């Protein structure tokens, strides 16, 4: 029942998970025997001494590794792999620290199970140094390019874990809606671990239950949308490497769900993260990848959203004519939106979001334009950002903070320091109710942008109020 090994090393991983499960050596032996017999392996009857040998480093033969994994996974309530237990894997281990995951259903299930399991073990932290370790450039884009042509490989499965259908898919979608609302109201820090745990449970169903091919696709799409929320909350918490990994596995899940428009939504999340970290060219590349990949499935809301982001990124890069053309495409596509046919994950892209995205694009252009159009661009930015605030639903609390910060920064561009201080005060009041590292980052940017006006009392007070708000207690 095991292979002898020279210089055998104790299996500390198995020992740790066994201790966490609460099973004794006898208990594990008994549970493995019962499961083996239930699956037709009547010849498998490990005892307590055999478990001790596994713990001392003996490698059990197939199918024992899989049986041990399933027993301990059920006991601890988390999806585990053989690798987690220091046992030989039955298939190649997926490296979730790389963007080049396989575009297959099996690979996507394993990647999400591995990632959510490791994410649940992360300490909760407000400050993160992960921004320097995210994948960029060709390393990222070459891997994601295959999304445009990847075909879903999911097929119906028959497993002993019970049958799932539309009610389970609808349940995941409803939970996703609830978490998305919590994120809008409170920021990502409070709920991200709960979302990841829910994502882990959902992917476990894909790996262990019976379902048809069509249900499998719908379930993958539901997991992808849930993953986009998990990634967004993680990004909002400042955990950039983890967020990127979650976005990548969500993109793979969207591919298995045969939903290119949902994939485009995930890519725009990744693009916003890249822009936030100052990698604007990569952000634009991700938007263009989303536009190409979703060209046959994109709804008017998707087209408008991606064009609006394109306008913002072109403005940052100083290509103002391209920015204006993209803004025109965004406005045109927005007029064709029929909310009755738009997917749930596009509900957030409303008139307020369009105005805010384009308003920031004009603000950036005004800041970088020393010519006669500077004042015109600033006025356009103020108009659009004010319109965004007027249309914001009450539950989009964090977005309102960004709108006020956008207005404050535009007032600075126009040299209107009193207006900048007033809008900053409102943003700071909202910041006190929302846990979001992104708001903190934007406040620090505003603090730095106000430095040239430090001879003004309004600017001095603005900077001091921000410093007090974002400094560690």
Evaluate if residue 69 carries a pLDDT over 90: no
Evaluate if residue 328 carries a pLDDT over 60: yes
Q: How confident is residue 5, by pLDDT bands cut at 50, 70 and 90?
A: very low
Is position 270 within any domain? no
pLDDT, average across residues 325-338? 97
Is position 348 within any domain? no
Q: How confident is residue 120, by pLDDT bands cut at 50, 70 and 90?
A: low
Same domain, 68 and 198: no
Q: What is the pLDDT of residues 265-278, one digit of tens each?
A: 999 999 999 999 88
Same domain, 47 and 162: no
Cα within 13 Å of Cα(40), Cβ side: 1
More reliable by pLDDT, 453 or 116: 453
More reliable by pLDDT, 181 or 3: 181
pLDDT, average across residues 437-447? 90
Same domain, 107 and 52: no
pLDDT, average across residues 18-38? 88
Q: Which pLDDT value is given to residue 130?
A: 66
Q: Which pLDDT value is given to residue 89?
A: 65
Q: Which pLDDT value is given to residue 123?
A: 39
Is position 464 within any domain? no
Interatomic CA distance for residues 387 and 391, integer angstroms:
6
Interatomic CA distance for residues 408 and 416, integer angstroms:
9
Interatomic CA distance for residues 49 and 199, integer angstroms:
37
Judging by beta carbons within 10 Å of its beta carbon (0-12, 13-18, 19+), is residue 83 exposed, middle or buried?
middle
Same domain, 170 and 237: yes
Is position 130 within any domain? yes
Evaluate if residue 252 carries a pLDDT over 90: yes
Is position 426 within any domain? no
Same domain, 219 and 118: yes
pLDDT, average across residues 273-290? 95
Same domain, 130 and 253: yes
More reliable by pLDDT, 224 or 151: 224
Q: What is the pLDDT of residues 236-251, one digit of tens each?
A: 988 899 899 999 999 9
pLDDT, average across residues 22-32? 91
pLDDT, average across residues 119-133? 53
Residue 34 sits in which domain range?
2-75
Give how far Cα 128 sits from Cα of 133, 438, 448, Å.
11, 12, 21
Is position 384 within any domain? no
Residue 3, strand partner residues: 59
Q: What is the pLDDT of residues 76-94, one digit of tens each?
A: 766 677 777 888 765 445 6
Q: Are 385 and 410 in contact (CB under 8 A)?
A: yes
Average pLDDT over all residues of the chain? 89
pLDDT, average across residues 88-108? 75
pLDDT, average across residues 437-462? 91
Q: Which pLDDT value is given to residue 125?
A: 33
Residue 60, strand partner residues: 2
Same domain, 67 and 107: no
Q: Which pLDDT value is given to residue 8?
A: 63
Same domain, 177 and 221: yes
Evaluate if residue 127 carries a pLDDT over 70: no
Interatomic CA distance for residues 246 and 224, integer angstroms:
9
Same domain, 59 and 106: no
Q: Which pLDDT value is given to residue 119?
A: 64
pLDDT, average across residues 350-360? 98
Of 258, 279, 303, which one is at a domain's C-terminal end?
258
Three state DSSP letters for the chain: CEECCCCCCCCHHHHHHHHHHCCCHHHHHHHHHHHHHHCCCCCCCCCHHHHHHHHHCCEECCCHHHHHHHHHHHHHCCCCCCHHHCCCCCCCCCCCCCCCCCCCHHHHHHHHHHHHHHHCCCCCCCCCCHHHHCCCHHHHHHHHHHHHCCCCCCCCECCCCCECCHHHHHHHHHHHHHHHHHHHHHCCCCCHHHHHHHHHHHHHHHHHCEECHHHHHHHHHHHHHHHHHHHHHHHHCCCHHHHHHHHHHHHHHHHHCCCHHHHHHHHHHHHHHHHHCCCHHHHHHHHHHHHHHCCCCCCHHHHHHHHHHHHHHHHHHCCHHHHHHHHHHHHHHHCCCCCCCCCHHHCCCCHHHHHHHHHHHHHHHHHHCCCCHHHHHHHHHHHHHHHHHHHCCCCCHHHHHHHHHHHHHHHHHCCCHHHHHHHHHHHHHHHCCCCCHHHHHHHHHHHHHCHHHCCCHHHHHHHHHHHHHHCCC
pLDDT, average across residues 34-63? 85
pLDDT, average across residues 206-232? 95
pLDDT, average across residues 351-357? 98
Of 258, 286, 312, which one is at a domain's C-terminal end?
258
Is position 461 within any domain? no
**Percent of the chain residues topping a pLDDT of 90:** 62
pTM of full prediction above 0.85: no
Q: Which pLDDT value is given to residue 83?
A: 75
Q: How confident is residue 366, by pLDDT bands cut at 50, 70 and 90?
A: very high
Interatomic CA distance for residues 180 and 204, integer angstroms:
22
Phi, psi of 293 (to 5 degrees): -65, -35
Same domain, 151 and 35: no
Is position 88 within any domain? no
Number of domains in the chain: 2
Taking the alpha carbons of 297, 302, 307, 313 in that order, is the dihedral positive or negative?
negative
Same domain, 233 and 156: yes
pLDDT, average across residues 301-317? 97
Q: Which pLDDT value is given to residue 113?
A: 77
Q: Are 115 and 243 in contact (CB under 8 A)?
A: no
Evaluate if residue 473 carries a pLDDT over 70: no
Q: Which pLDDT value is given to residue 267?
A: 98
Of 75, 91, 112, which one is at a domain's C-terminal end?
75
Same domain, 110 and 155: yes
Evaluate if residue 38 carries a pLDDT over 80: no
Q: Which range among 22-26, 107-111, 252-256 shows the weakest confidence by mean pLDDT?
A: 107-111
pLDDT, average across residues 212-218? 95
């Amino acid at each position: 029942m095991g292979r002898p090994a020279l210089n055998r090393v104790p299996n500390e991983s198995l020992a740790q998970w066994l201790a966490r499960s609460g099973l004794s050596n006898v208990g594990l032996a008994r549970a493995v025997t019962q499961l083996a017999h239930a699956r037709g392996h009547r010849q498998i009857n490990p005892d307590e001494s055999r478990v001790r040998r596994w713990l001392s480093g003996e490698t059990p033969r197939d199918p024992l590794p899989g049986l041990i994994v399933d027993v301990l996974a059920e006991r601890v309530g988390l999806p585990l792999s053989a690798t987690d237990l220091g046992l030989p894997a039955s298939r190649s281990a997926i490296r979730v620290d790389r963007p080049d995951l396989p575009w297959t259903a099996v690979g996507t299930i394993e990647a999400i199970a591995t990632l959510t399991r490791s994410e649940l073990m992360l300490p909760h932290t407000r400050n993160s140094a992960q921004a320097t370790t995210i994948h960029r450039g060709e390393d990222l884009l070459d891997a994601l390019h295959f999304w445009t042509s990847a075909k879903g490989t999911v097929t119906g499965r028959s497993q002993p874990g019970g049958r799932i259908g539309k009610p389970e898919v609808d349940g995941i979608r409803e939970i996703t809606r609830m978490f998305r609302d919590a994120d809008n109201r409170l920021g990502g820090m409070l709920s991200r671990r709960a979302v990841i745990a829910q994502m882990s449970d959902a992917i476990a169903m894909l790996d262990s239950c019976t379902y048809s091919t069509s249900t499998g696709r719908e379930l993958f799409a539901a997991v992808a949308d849930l993953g986009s929320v998990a990634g967004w909350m993680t990004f909002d918490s400042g955990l950039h490497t983890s967020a990127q990994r979650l976005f990548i596995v969500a993109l793979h899940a969207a591919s298995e769900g045969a939903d290119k428009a949902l994939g485009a939504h995930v890519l725009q999340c990744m693009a916003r993260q890249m822009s936030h970290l100052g990698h604007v060219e990569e952000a634009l590349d991700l938007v263009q990848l989303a536009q190409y990949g979703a060209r046959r499935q994109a709804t008017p809301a998707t087209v408008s959203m991606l064009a609006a982001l394109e306008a913002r990124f072109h403005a940052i890069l100083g290509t103002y004519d391209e920015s204006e053309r993209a803004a025109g495409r965004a406005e045109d596509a927005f007029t064709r939106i029929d909310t009755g046919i738009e997917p749930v994950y596009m509900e957030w892209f409303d008139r307020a979001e369009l105005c805010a995205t384009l308003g920031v694009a004009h603000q950036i252009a005004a800041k970088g334009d020393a010519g006669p159009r500077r004042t015109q661009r600033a006025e356009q930015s103020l108009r659009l950002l004010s319109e965004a605030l007027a249309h914001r639903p009450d539950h989009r609390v964090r977005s309102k903070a960004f709108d006020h910060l956008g207005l404050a920064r535009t007032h600075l561009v126009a040299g209107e320091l009193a207006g900048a201080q007033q809008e900053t005060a409102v943003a700071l009041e909202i910041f006190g109710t929302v846990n979001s590292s992104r708001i903190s980052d934007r406040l620090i940017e505003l603090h730095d942008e106000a430095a040239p006006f430090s001879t003004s009392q309004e600017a001095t007070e603005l900077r001091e109020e921000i410093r007090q708000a974002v400094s560690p207690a």
